[in-house]
Amino acid sequence: MSRGERLSGERVPRRRLTEGLGEHYQRGYVAALLVMLAALLYPITGWQAIDDLATFGLLVLIGVPILAVCRVGATALVCRDRSLALIAAGILALLALAVLVPVLLSGGR
């Protein structure tokens, strides 16, 4: 099967997209809330591990919408939705650029 046949331009059903993303966002919300609430204990306990947990929690939170795009891209590939797969790939490339541009502007530091 050629690449063109694998990505033949079908469209992912909208309901399938929103249901999958809804579950993803709900799990992300619960995970981020639990970690952030645990991080609030730091001012009381002063434990360094909880401070690190707060950093991890923020990364989890920022990762939720980014992983949602990965999920959309994977669903699009499974359903052979070429246009949606390209859109997801484009967004991920731009997000990679968001990381790289500040590094390049600061001279690689």
Partner 1 sequence: MIEPLGLSALLYTLTGICAGLLGAVLGLGGGVLTVPVLTLLLGVPPHMAVAASLVGVVATSVSSSAGYLHRDLPLVRTGLILVMMTVVGAIIGSLVAGYLSGEAIFVLFSVLLLYTAVNMWRGRRVREIEGDPDAYAVTPLALAGAGAAGCISGSLGVGGGVLNVPVLNILLGAPIHRSTSTSTFMMGLTAAAGCVAYFMRGELLISLAAPLVAGVLIGARLGPRVAVAIEPTGIRRAFVFVLIFVAIRMSWGVFS
Near partner 1 by CB under 8 A: residue from 7, 54, 70, 77: 54
**Residue 66 in the binding site for partner 1 (CB under 8 A):** yes
Instruction: List the one residue from 5, 49, 99, 108 that touches partner 1 (CB under 8 A).
Output: 99
> What's the distance, CA 8 to chain centroid?
26
CB of 2 to partner 1, least distance (A): 25
Among the residues of the chain, which ranges form H helices?
Answer: 3-6, 14-39, 42-45, 48-78, 82-105
> By the 8 A CB rule, do 70 and 92 touch?
yes
Structure tokens of 102?
A: 């500040």
Calpha distance 54→62 (Å, rounded): 12
Interface positions with partner 1 (CB under 8 A): 11, 14-15, 17-19, 21-22, 25-26, 28-29, 32-33, 36-37, 39-40, 42-44, 46, 50-51, 54-55, 57-58, 61-62, 64-66, 68-69, 72, 84, 87-88, 90-91, 94-95, 97-99, 101-103, 105-106
